[in-house]
Amino acid sequence: MFPAYNIEKRVYNNILYKHQKIKDLKNVWVETSGQMDVDVLKNAVKILGANRVVFGTDWPYKPVNIEIDKFYHLGFNDTQLEQIFYKNAEYLWRM
């Protein structure tokens, strides 16, 4: 639809079906701010891949350290965490 643009959207509760719908749209990414359901976060990485998930905190409403710790407890490997925490943002924002 918009092949020249990278599109980022929030990971909201109960949208597993949306992850399935966007999995083939390689220029659509999700970010994690505001997401409290860890199963939704795990499934976003499982369905889309860690290379299409961007870390977000929803600060100041949610403490940053808790959001970071949540990802360390989800069982992602170091490569996945690097992608989610900063490499994907570097790519998306051409840093």
More confident of the two residues 19 and 56 = 56
Task: Please determine, for residue 42, whether its predicted confidence score (pLDDT) is greater than 50.
Answer: yes
pLDDT for position 13: 46
3-state secondary structure at position 34: coil
**What pLDDT band is residue 3 in, cutting at 50, 70 and 90?**
low
Q: pTM to 2 decimals?
A: 0.78
DSSP 7-39: EEEE--TT-HHHHHHHTT-TTEEEE-TT---HH
Inter-helix orientation angle 38-48/64-72, to 10°: 60
